[in-house]
A and B are shown apart, each in its own frame.
Chain A
Amino acid sequence: MRAASAQARAAAVGDQRPGRRPPGGGRGMRRRRGTAARLAWLLVLAAFAAFFLVPVVWLLLAPTKTDSGLVHSNPLAFGSLHDLGTTWHDLVTFEDGALLTWLRNSAVYAFGALAITLATAIPAGYGLALTEFRGRKLLLAVTLVVMIMPASALVLPLFLEVNAAHLVGSAWSVILPMSFFPFGVYLAYIYFSSHIPRDLLAAARLDGCSEWGVFWHVAVPLARPVVALVAFFSFAANWNNFFLPFVMLPSSGQYPVQVGLENLLSSTPSFNPAAGAGLDITRPELALAMLIAIAPVLVMFLFSQRALVSGMLAGATKE
């Protein structure tokens, strides 16, 4: 059973399993019913594909138009490069390049928290999976509880805590809470306990490796897939986090791009006639800002789909 599932997993990762033809394919009635079913199948999948795809396509095209072009032209047609240039110019000059500041802030917060997450979660997963100490099971159980604990319920008490430490408004007020990432510890724990043979570690110890040496020279190189997985989830969660920086950071110069986008929304005359008069931020600018804001996560998405899924499933099949 285990071997079979491991095999299936290996096949699933590469997606190279030969597609099995469903048996049957009779004649007459059965064939006609088969064709109808196939058509219905395609229609359902295509309808959902349209649902998922159309907003993305619209978003990619919106910055190539003017605001009135957005209303009057075909929603799914390309505008012009000239309008795209204007949109770009309006956006980067908004509040003297606020967008670039927000992006830089996002990068600092997301990568800062990512670094601390990796430095703590990977050893912790290793410790939980492959060492023995008192309280290990308790720590594991607590990790599972906080993992499913809704994080944003803690934002307000966190604010008070950070406030008491006089850190509100500093980058640490966002980086430190974000670097606490129990999901990453759980992923690392699952990976180490199902993929690293204890005998291998014992052999390294016999060869004179210290405990840290075993971890650093044997376990970590073998754990590259899970390090990548934790890094991706942590980065995406940090980059997209809104509530925490929204509460912790008081001034626009410190906003990450997600909070900045919300700020832009309230500067758009289309959504806020009161505040928008005379501003160059209209819907195409907003669309472009969104594209820029999601670009880092999108790029990581595109390159890591397969690795992500196989990594997730490596955890799932621990029986």
Chain B
Amino acid sequence: MTGRTACRARGTLRARHGYAFVAGYLVLLLAFGILPAGYAIFLALTNSAGQLVGFGNVTAVAGDFRFGSAFAHIGVYLAIWLVALVAGVVGLALLLHGRMRRTTAVMRFVYYMPGALAGVAGVLVWLFMLDPTVSPVGWLLNWLGYTSFAQVIVPGHLPVVLAVIAFWTGAGGWIVIMHGALNNIPGDLLEAARIDGAGPWQVARRIQIPMLRKWIAYMVILAFATGSQLFVEPQLVGEASLGAVSNSWSPNQLAYLYAFQANDFHSAAALSVDLLVLGLACAAIIVARSGLFDLE
């Protein structure tokens, strides 16, 4: 008790220390979070002469013939990827929960392992998997009617191909996390439901999935953010396809072309701002609806 009183008496002193603890992070936050975001918005709203052009850049970029297709590409990709991710992760986590502990522990680890191949390595592995001449599932590709790499990675297949790669590298980590979250549901609750006659399907629907809601929301936010930001994946597939896949397949690639091929940083910034607004809008909707991030 005396400790508490002493604390309160030294409140102002402690406040100054509070600032000291966050100071280093605050500098980084301002320099590499707030400042570039503000700078991107400033660039997006001005031209190379520094004049304010309002939404001029944004509408000009939107008029580019590559703009619509780039956003359509990631739209299709995101639809496939998010549905597959939520269904696959929740489904597998439920299947793995509460049965045959040894087997499921091994399975969880197997599912989780490709996570180490995030980024460039994961894409490269799948370039091999999709090449019928070297792939261990070449027979499957042949059976589907594909005999060459070029036939497999035609542009129309890309959303599916990239969704498969993303699922392969990303799903396992989330499965492990969901599985752990399922373990946090009190066993008595599940037992009571079963005694009341609920089957596994009803237990999943009425108890387990609602308990996972915050985690699912968080997963969708992060998956949406990274999914709308695709750069290295289509870039590598494009290089490997020898030009069959356009180098402005995703909005981030298009922004890169604007910045470093056309030296037009204002248009590039306009695209970055589009992506930022898109990501934050999606996050805001999900955060508001799921109650994620209650501050206290």
Contacts and interface: CB of A to CB of B under 8 A. Distances in A.
A19 B21 contact: no
A93 B156 CA distance: 39
Contacts of A223: none
B60 interface: no
Contacts of A258: 119-121
Interface in A88-145: 116, 119-121, 123-124, 126-128, 131-134, 136-137, 139-145
B154 interface: no
Given A149-B280, A206-B2, A62 B194 contact: no
Given A49-B107, A203-B3, A305-B112, A150 B275 contact: yes
B92 interface: yes
A36 interface: no
Nearest to A271: B240
Contact of B18 (A132, A141, A203, A293): A132
A290 B21 CA distance: 40
B239 A272 contact: yes
Interface stretch (B27-35, B48-56, B62-70, B75-83): B27-35
Contacts of B214: 316
Nearest to B100: A19
A129 to B, nearest CB: 10
B31 A133 contact: no
A120 B186 contact: no
B181 to A, nearest CB: 6
Interface string A211-241: 1100100000000000000000000100011
Contacts of B96: 45
Contacts of B272: 153-154, 156-157
A52 B172 contact: yes
A104 to B, nearest CB: 18
A102 B41 CA distance: 34
Contacts of A283: 128, 134
Interface in B1-42: 2-4, 6-7, 11, 13-22, 24-29, 31-37, 39-40
A45 B107 contact: yes
B95 A44 contact: yes
Interface residues of B, number: 117
Contact of A48 (B92, B98, B109): B92
Given A140-B295, A283-B128, A301-B116, A294 B121 contact: yes
Main secondary structure of the interface of A (DSSP, over half): helix
B179 to A, nearest CB: 8
A148 B279 contact: yes
Given A153-B272, A157-B37, A309-B177, A265 B240 contact: yes
Nearest to B188: A4
B226 A150 contact: yes
A277 interface: no
B95 A45 contact: yes
Given A265-B236, A297-B118, A316-B214, 20 more contacts: A5-B184, A23-B195, A49-B107, A55-B126, A62-B128, A75-B135, A127-B21, A131-B21, A148-B283, A153-B229, A153-B252, A154-B33, A154-B276, A157-B43, A176-B28, A202-B4, A203-B3, A261-B121, A287-B128, A313-B180
Interface of A: 4-5, 8-9, 11-12, 15, 17, 19-20, 22-23, 41, 44-45, 48-49, 51-59, 62, 70-71, 75-76, 116, 119-121, 123-124, 126-128, 131-134, 136-137, 139-146, 148-154, 156-161, 176-177, 179-180, 182, 185, 199, 202-203, 205-206, 211-212, 215, 236, 240-243, 246-247, 258-259, 261-262, 265-266, 271-273, 283, 286-287, 290, 293-294, 297-298, 301, 305, 309-310, 312-313, 316-317
